[in-house]
């Protein structure tokens, strides 16, 4: 029914889409690992980043990959401000408060975008959109090959930041022992906000990688939110290698289930993995904490 070539191509393309998923999940898992919060606004923030990339390309004629260089600092600043001045103070440090504040933020962002841009889906036309890379007999979508490479590079970069820089050390210290870190003079609200900002910058990279082959509407991020949570839970909340491997795995699962079940039922595979992981092993594959 399906020739092996189609199946292998679909799975490889899924693997590479999974890489971009992993990038989205990377920010989410970092924020969870350090702040111990579930950031419900992550999907909406991805939408913001995608709109920024779209604006940069459609209005100013920038290359989508080049746009990342401008969107990433903007998202970094936005993330810092949100955590430092809204999420942190508004939630009073309570788990439930954070859950609700980020949910509220996601609704505000989504509907502000809806008011500003209407619900139309927008795409950008770039030279890459339909380009393919030939790998022997296999045809792979060029934007996804780039996405795969950039994700790996970003993960390594993130790893280096966390392990080689002062702010990285501070972030890891706060993640391990908040009180101890603040006793030795680390400003916990600042580290929280920096972590949130880095998570948002990851979203900017993901947005730049997605736009050439995807579309954006105010609701786009919502579609990614559960996928990203699935990856984070599957990989283990707070685990960076977990997010990478989880992302790749989910990409393949999605490709396989849409190939065999069709697009509308395809997503169900992801949610079932999510539910089963939560029920059977809520610490995920690489998570240490329950």
Partner 1 sequence: MTRPRLSTLAIIVAALAVVPLAGLSGSLLNLMIFMMIIALAAQGWNILGGYAGLSSFGHAAFFGAGAYAMVVLQTRFGVNAWIALVIGIALGALVGAFIGFLSFRSGLKGSYFALITLAFAEVARILANSTNFTGGAAGILLKLQTGLPYLQFADRRYFLLIALGFVAIGLLVSWWLEHSRFGAYLVALRENEQAAQALGVDVFAVKMKAIAISGALTAAAGCLYAQNYLFIDANVAFGSWISIEALFAAIVGGSGTVIGPLLGAIVLLGLGELTKMVSGGIPGMDLLVFGVILVLSVAYSPNGLVMLMKSLGLRAPAKAREA
Per CB under 8 A, residues contacting partner 1 are: 37-38, 86, 89-92, 94-97, 99-101, 103-108, 110-115, 118-119, 218, 222, 226, 229-230, 233, 262, 264-265, 267-268, 271-272, 274-275, 278-280, 282
Whichever of 8 and 272 has its CB closer to partner 1, that residue is 272
Considering the complex, what minimum distance in angstroms separates the CB of residue 281 from partner 1?
Answer: 9
Task: Please report the beta strands in the chain, taking only residues with DSSP state E, as ranges in sequence order.
Answer: 132-135, 138-141
CB of 260 to partner 1, least distance (A): 14
**Is the CB of 35 or the CB of 202 nearer to partner 1?**
35
Which 3 state secondary structure label does DSSP give 156?
helix
Give me the least distance between CB of 288 and partner 1, in Å please: 16
Cβ proximity to partner 1: between 33 and 208 the closer is 33
Q: Which of 7, 8, 31 is nearest to 243 (CA)?
A: 31
Between residues 45 and 209, which has the closer beta carbon with respect to partner 1? 45
Q: Which is nearer to partner 1, 11 or 99 (CB)?
A: 99
CB of 153 to partner 1, least distance (A): 30
**How far apart are the C-alpha atoms of 274 and 234, rounded to whole Å?**
7
Beta bridge partners of 216: 122
How far apart are CB 247 and partner 1 at their closest, in Å? 17
Q: Specify whether the backbone of 222 is left (phi greater than 0), alpha (psi in -120 to 50) or beta.
A: alpha
Q: How far is the CB of 99 from partner 1 (least distance, A)?
A: 6
User: 3 or 119, CB closer to partner 1?
Assistant: 119
Tally the C-alpha atoms within 13 A of residue 279's C-alpha that lie toward its C-beta.
6
Q: Which of 48, 17, 3 is nearest to 254 (CA)?
A: 17
For residues 70 and 66, what is the distance between their CA atoms, to the nearest angstrom? Answer: 8
CA of 177: how far to CAs of 155, 180, 188, in Å?
24, 5, 10
């Amino acid at each position: 029914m399906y020739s092996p070539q189609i199946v292998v191509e679909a799975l490889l393309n899924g693997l590479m889409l999974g890489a971009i998923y992993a990038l989205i999940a990377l920010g989410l898992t970092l924020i969870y690992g350090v702040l111990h919060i579930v950031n419900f606004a992550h999907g909406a923030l991805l939408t913001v980043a995608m709109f920024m990339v779209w604006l940069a390309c459609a209005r100013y004629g920038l290359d989508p990959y080049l746009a990342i260089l401008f969107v990433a600092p903007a998202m970094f600043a936005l993330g810092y401000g949100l955590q430092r001045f809204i999420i942190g103070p508004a939630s009073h440090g309570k788990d439930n408060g954070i859950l609700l504040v980020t949910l509220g933020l996601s609704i505000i962002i989504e509907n502000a975008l809806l008011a500003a841009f209407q619900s139309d889906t927008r795409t950008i036309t770039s030279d890459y959109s339909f380009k393919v890379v030939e790998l022997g007999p296999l045809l792979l979508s060029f934007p996804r090959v780039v996405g795969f490479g950039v994700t790996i590079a970003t993960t390594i970069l993130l790893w280096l930041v966390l392990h080689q820089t002062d702010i990285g050390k501070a972030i890891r210290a706060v993640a391990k022992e908040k009180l101890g870190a603040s006793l030795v003079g680390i400003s916990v609200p600042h580290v929280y906000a920096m972590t949130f900002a880095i998570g948002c910058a990851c979203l900017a990279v993901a947005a730049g990688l997605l736009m050439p082959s995807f579309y954006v509407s105010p609701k786009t991020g919502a579609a990614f939110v559960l996928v990203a949570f699935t990856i984070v839970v599957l990989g283990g909340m707070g685990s960076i290698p977990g997010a990478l491997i989880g992302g790749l795995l989910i990409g393949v699962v999605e490709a396989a289930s849409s190939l065999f079940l069709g697009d509308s039922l395809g997503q169900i595979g992801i949610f079932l993995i999510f539910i089963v992981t939560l029920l059977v092993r809520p610490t995920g594959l690489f998570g240490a904490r329950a």
